[in-house]
Amino acid sequence: MTSALSDPTLERHFKGHRGAVTSVDFSCNMKQIATGSVDSCVMIWNMKPQMRAYRFEGHKDAVTSVQFSPSGHMVASASRDKTVRLWVPSIKADSTEFRAHTAAVRCVNFSDDGQTLVTASNDKTIKVWTVHRQKFLFSFNQHVNWVRCAKFSPDDRLIVSCSDDKTIKLWDKNSRECIQSFFEHAGYANHVDFHPSGTCIAAASTDSSVKLWDIRTNKMLQHYQVHSGAVNSLSFHPAGNFLITTSSDSTVKILDLLEGKLLYTLHGHQSSVTCVAFSRTGDYFSSGGADEQVMVWKSNFDCIKHGNGVKVQKKGTSTVRPPTSSSMARFPLNSDPSVLHCQTSEPAEHVNRQESQTASHAQSFSHGSHSRAAHSQVYRDPSISSSSTRQTQTTQLPSRHHQSDSHTSDGKVPSGIANALEHIIGQLDILTQKGQDADATTTEELASHTRRTSHTRDPS
């Protein structure tokens, strides 16, 4: 049976930064993309080919983080120069600057209502500000090392942060207290974010792993070990079914959270991939890297578009609802009572797609060439059509209804009874070659065995 998945395709290619790209974000209307770089500049790329990009200069050191406001009328940028700037994304490049921290600012993030900002810094603090007049509100001070990232939850009630102190902390914005800490043992998290449902978080770690925790039960839901280098960034699909990760191993990987497996490995960047973000509808995603390139990909992950504009899997549900503590333990989506195998091998099936060239140096898909400097490649994970030899155990995340092998609802005979009947038929075929007396006696015994077997539940 062929797979119904459609492969992601490279749609646009931008190059204008003079240093590694550190952050990327889409505007809400998909007309612009904002990027930050170690060249101290913010770039606004227009998706229409005929429109030129804007270069915003103002920061005195590397730009570490950029984000569009929910309305798209403003872009926030954080920098190693200890400041945050709010830009109007137009040719005038108007901006407001405020000194946010006493050390490099690593991350800036808008609340969902667009009224507040959260910043994370090497001064070990997380601070919350009003967007209007940039008024300081309060700070969190319990990390004991650099804070790499801080993000609001979808309902703006919580903030999640990660630090070089190997902890990921969950903060209540109203009580201003840390309500939960998750610990990284092998490395520390570079990036952390909320699932669109707000019920779980994902962390990209320097130990090459990606982990997802349920913040209601404080238990790990999934653990992926699919990269061969530090994981630098991640982004959830708006429907919650997919997670994209980027790594210092120069790849972008797409994870199916419903199935708990790796779907695609994308080779386009020539060195470390530092950032990634989905568009607001999930139709596109963009990646940036140390090779100074910004790539825009079309998702195509076997999706249909609903009336609200959000694309979801044809065979899945519109949102991912991580299970409650009881359902997670008793009703996983696989036949094993506690785990699901996550594919971690490097994909073997090579899928090539011709992308739309937008400039003379835009990369194209090719058959037979493996030079990533000249070509972008999409590898589909072999788990779509074949099994993997190297696996990691992970607990199934969300809630697609599952039917176990022993309780089929499609009219098939349970495998245990079917096997027993086949065995009996085989024995009868052998016995018919013997005398009638022996055949009659044995048939009576086998009929009795059949009656006992038909009442036996399939142990699988």
d(C-alpha 12, C-alpha 285), whole Å: 11
Answer whether residue 51 is part of any domain. Answer: yes
**What is the spatial distance between Cα 296 and Cα 273, in angstroms, rounded to a whole number?**
13
* pLDDT value at residue 184: 85
Identify the segments of the chain with pLDDT beneath 50.
1-3, 304-309, 311-374, 383-412, 432-460
CB 132 within 8 Å of CB 116? no
Q: Which amino acid is at 339?
A: V
Instruction: State how far the Cα of 44 lies from the Cα of 63, in Å rounded to an integer.
Output: 13
- 262 forms beta bridges with 255
Please state, in angstroms and as integers, the Cα–Cα distance from residue 195 to each residue in 52, 155, 162, 206, following that order.
34, 11, 16, 20
Please report whether residue 347 resides in a domain: no
Q: Which pLDDT score is estimated for 414?
A: 60
Q: In the structure encoding, which two tokens stand for residue 331, read together? A: 């009703």
Which of 74, 78, 116, 115 is closest to 100 using CA atoms?
A: 78
**C-alpha angle with apex 252: 195 to 59, nearest 5 degrees?**
80
pLDDT in tens, 366-401: 222 333 333 567 777 654 433 333 333 344 444 333
SS3 325: helix
Joined together, the tokens standing for residue 172 give: 């209540």
> Which residue is it, tokens 């899997």?
313
82 domain residue, yes or no: yes
Is residue 38 in a domain?
Answer: yes
The whole domain housing 65 covers 12-99
In a domain? residue 332: no
Q: How far apart are CA 17 and CA 271, in angstroms?
A: 15
68 domain residue, yes or no: yes
Does residue 26 form part of some domain?
A: yes
3-state secondary structure of 329: helix
Report whether 71 contacts 114 (CB < 8 A): yes
Domain membership flag for residue 62: yes
Q: What is the count of structural domains for the chain?
A: 1
CA distance linking residue 207 with residue 205, whole number of Å? 5
Closest residue by Cα to residue 201 from 184, 186, 182: 182
Please name the helix (run of DSSP H) or strand (run of DSSP E) that holds residue 122, with its range, or none.
none
> For the whole model, what pTM was predicted?
0.71
- The enclosing domain of 60 has a CATH number of 2.40.10
CB 358 within 8 A of CB 15: no
